[in-house]
Amino acid sequence: MGRALITITNDTCIVSLYGEGRLFKEYKLGGVSKLVIETGGVVLSRCSNGTCFISIDNVSKVNINRSSEGSYVVKIS
C-alpha cells in the first residue's frame, strides 16, 4: 500500500508517489493537461485547488486530466 500526494498550484501539478513511507517517484506537470505515471486498484478523485491524498494499491498508472471547469481528475489504475 502506498499513497500519492497531488499538489496543485495554479497551472503546476506536482505528483509524489510514496511506498512504505518513502518517496520513490516525483513528477512535475506544468502547462500540460495530462500526465501518465507507469509504476491494480482504481481510485478516482477530483482535485481543484490545494492538495489531494490518494491511496494506492498495486499502482500501474496515474492519469491527471484537467476538466473544463479547471479542476483536475486523478485516476489511479
Residue type, 1: M
User: Residue ranges of the domains in the chain?
Assistant: 2-76
Is the pLDDT at 1 greater than 50? The verdict is no
Sorted by sequence, the CB contacts under 8 Å of residue 71 that are 6+ apart come out as 46, 47, 48
Q: Is the pTM of this model over 0.75?
A: no
- What pLDDT does residue 54 have? 55
pLDDT, tens only, 6-57: 666 656 666 766 665 555 566 666 655 444 555 544 444 445 555 555 555 5
- Give burial (CB, 10 Å; 0-12/13-18/19+) of 58: exposed
